[in-house]
Structure 1
Amino acid sequence: MFEFGGTLSLALDFSKFDDPSFSHVWSSASQGLSSLEMGFIPLQMLLALLAVAIESRQRIGYVKAPVFFPSLQKLRLTVEFITDDLIGSISTALPLLTHLDLQDSPIMEPESATATDLTDAGLQQINPKGKLKHLSLIRSQEFIYTSFRHVNDLGILLMSEKCSNLESICLGGFSRVTDTGFRAIIHSCPGLHKLKVTNGSHLTDLVFHDIVATSLCLTHVSLRWCTLLTDVGIERLSFNKDLNVLDLKDCKSLGDEAVRALSCLPRLRKLVLDGTVITNQAMEYLGAGVCPLASLSLRGCYKLTNDCIPLLLAGSVKESLHALDLSRIPSLTDDAIMVIVRARTPLTELRLRENPEIGDASVKALASMQFEGVTCGSTLQLLDLYDCGGITLLAMKWFKKPLFPRLRWLGLKGSLNRIMVDALVLTRPFLRLACGGEELGTPYRDTSGEWCRHEDDDSEDLEPWQLDGEPVSDAETTNEE
């Protein structure tokens, strides 16, 4: 089956392979396999396969081939529940793990603390050999709103004592963990570079109160849906001058002063401010700041107006910015897009979805946008206009060749004339057209643990304009033309 060691990714639903002989499929797998990523796998099947791996280690001459070889260093799995038994089995079967990425997607609340959920006792079993460098434990909200209700600060404190070598950690759905637990991680892991907390309902500014007294050098930070975090906490966090990626989506207590502190970061390239209460003043801070921003997301920042665009593009940002999300900003009109066009900002991604005042005039302006003497909207690779109120069939002619020669992703409302839409697809075979409201550029899935997966490759974070992992080549553009 597999002749060489290395990395194996299986994007399969393993519930379809519930057969007693399934483990024999792995009989020819290389025992040098170091990285394994699997799609959804039922918890009981997973525990059974881990039991085979444990037994094969304990019994000399055991011939039944295990799925999980002791040489495995990186593991990424999705199950219905993360439990204490699962953590214990992984820790016993795979003593050399350096990367552990687990995500569950429960369709109902766990029935008990011991059988179907993770507890403080389970967290203590993580990293028994002290080799773990990247840890991701995510409870997905895909089906219902639930969390790890049986984990509190004590569990995080005990875990952090055994995980002092961590370089990145992603925690999602730990609703009972407070500042005490999160501070324990920060103060116990001096080599931590990447920190991600999702739905940290008890995380406050106190987490970063004395961060300047630590030796931390954070480069990637995500604090999504941490609604108690305010400008004060972000000001403290900004003492990390090496911050490269910062995601503050739906931190609804953040305002202009937080952005003012961030505008002084000399290496900040990706900033997500979706759903915050910032105003045009925040854009003035960024425009006058030193951040070499390549990607900026302002989705749902309802207090922004057209005036925010010239303020943002007043300084060096207009030269470095490649990806801009201005979706769901009700007061935004075609005039704002005209400013972007006149500034000749080399955008390759522009998202304008669900803006009622954006219309055909924006499409026409972008199609004729000049950059370095080249016309026809030459830089755009992704344009999302889904559910923009002013887009009509007249806009379709501006998507015909040779206009937008590098466009590879286009989002439009599905109610437009289907015949014209289909005709556009036929004439532009390299164009991926989305009319159902789906997000463009990447498949729809929870990517909460991505930082832990790609610890050596930040291209997805730092070069978001390289969509789907492949930059558009000149040869491909020539072929289409």
Structure 2
Amino acid sequence: MERLGDDELICIFDKIDNHEDRKSFYQVSKNWLKVACIRLRELDISFPGILDDILPASPYIVKFTCLKPLSNTYLNLLAHSCPKLQYLNLEQDLDPEKEDCEAGHGVEHDDEVDLTERLLVRDVRFDSIVRSCKNLTYLDLGGCLSVTDESLKSLGASKSITKLILTGCMITDLGLEYLANGDLKNCLESLHLDECDRVSDVGFSHLKQMVILYHLVLSNCGVLNTDSGTLAISQIPNINTLHLLSSTNVTDISLSNIASTCKKLKFIYLLGCEAITGEGLRCFAHHPTLHCIKLYSCDNISWEDVELVVSTCPSLTIVGLSRRLKTPMPETGREAFNFGDKWCWIDWD
């Protein structure tokens, strides 16, 4: 009896609908595994040792995840075998002992890279990843404590990144200056700087050069932020979503700056900004685009302040409030309230 060829195996595989049966199919032999991989679009793997067999047979993979350290050899194999790759998730630490472990060299087709909590990332390795991912649009470096200002220098030259997450990174004002002075300012749409407590108002002042930026997260950024910092932030021309959670130095003056300057603002999150009072909230009265404002743990606000803002903002339909709101206040069991000719959803903390 003649051996089955690839065409026959593909026909057989295409007729198998059950997922477990398909797994049994490609466990039979390497040839059968090769056939199964032709249809593969996503790969989540914990044993890099079998990539020599899988990757060359998987030209249509678009999403790749590996939670074990990958050597440069495997990353090169991934780049050459999977030209349609769009999402690359390599969350675990690279092996610092191996000389061939400069992550990212040769990976030229990726759209997204997630390096969350990869604590051993070094500047040189980070630069290699950025240089190799020619179509990189999404980069998550959250928790990478070794990402520094020098790391951001190469990012500033990017012409493709649209979302950048730097949560908890050890960056300073100089790093934000690098980002804002390069080509990145013309493509970056979303920036997460939460828990970057080494950045001051001087660093935030550079962000107004980012003309495409519309989503900014500055929560838990320490005590360096003052009204001058929020004034600089409010001058970002297209900002429409702003997170300032637990920013203790955000005041009524800060809200006045934001409300009067950010005419495209739709969402603002002020949870835990305890210095805010009703005077600051009233600055948003008649705002043309505001859709949602969250004020949990902001206790120095009265129901009259809420009524004034909601009734005069044509797009405002969601308000988050503290249950310790100053009196007078309605029954907190209610969630939807009528304000003249409009309804607004009240979300109580």
TM-score w.r.t. length of structure 1: 0.58
Counterpart CA distance in 2 for 1:37 and 1:369 is 52
How far the C-alpha of 1:84 sits from its partner, in A, is: 2.4
Counterpart CA distance in 2 for 1:228 and 1:249 is 13
Aligned to 2:268: 296
Aligned to 1:152: 122
Does the aligned pair in 2 maintain the 1:171–1:196 contact within 8 Å? yes
> Does 1:214 pair with 2:182?
yes
How far the C-alpha of 1:3 sits from its partner, in A, is: 6.5
> Does 1:226 pair with 2:224?
no
Unaligned runs of 5+ in 1: 5-9, 11-16, 39-45, 59-65, 105-109, 140-146, 387-481
The SS at the match of 1:361 is coil
Q: Which has the larger radius of gyration?
A: 2
> Does 1:100 pair with 2:88?
yes
Q: How does 1:214-363 map to 2 (within 5 A)?
A: 214-216=182-184, 217=186, 218-252=188-222, 253-276=224-247, 277-314=249-286, 318-353=287-322, 355=324, 357=326, 360-361=329-330
> Does 1:125 pair with 2:117?
no
CA deviations on 1:202-255 (whole Å, 9 max, x unpaired) are 200001225554222122111111011111111112111221111111112222
Q: How does 1:24-103 map to 2 (within 5 A)?
A: 24=27, 31-34=38-41, 36=42, 46-48=45-47, 50-56=48-54, 69-75=58-64, 77=65, 82-85=67-70, 89=74, 92-93=77-78, 95-96=82-83, 97-103=85-91
How far the C-alpha of 1:22 sits from its partner, in A, is: 9.5
Unaligned runs of 5+ in 2: 1-11
Q: Which residue identity lines up with residue 347 of structure 1 in the other structure?
A: L
Structure 2 vs 1, CA of residues 212 and 362 (structure 1 numbering), >3 Å: closer, same or farther?
A: same
Q: How does 1:105-120 map to 2 (within 5 A)?
A: 114=95
Aligned to 1:418: none
The SS at the match of 2:183 is coil
CA deviations on 1:120-153 (whole Å, 9 max, x unpaired) are 96862325241123211112xxxxxxx61x3332
The SS at the match of 1:181 is helix
> Does 1:192 pair with 2:161?
yes
Does the aligned pair in 2 maintain the 1:341–1:365 contact within 8 Å? no
Identity over aligned residues, as a percent? Answer: 19
Aligned to 2:7: none
- CA-based RMSD of the aligned residues comes to 3.7
Does the aligned pair in 2 maintain the 1:322–1:346 contact within 8 Å? yes
Aligned residues: 321
Structure 2 vs 1, CA of residues 120 and 235 (structure 1 numbering), >3 Å: closer, same or farther?
A: farther
The SS at the match of 1:278 is coil
Q: Which of 84, 108, 114 lines up with 1:136 in the alignment?
A: 114
Does the aligned pair in 1 maintain the 2:70–2:103 contact within 8 Å? no
Does the aligned pair in 1 maintain the 2:153–2:179 contact within 8 Å? no
Q: Which residue identity lines up with residue 95 of structure 1 in the other structure?
A: C
Aligned to 1:385: 348
Q: Which of 197, 201, 204 lines up with 2:172 in the alignment?
A: 204
The SS at the match of 1:138 is coil
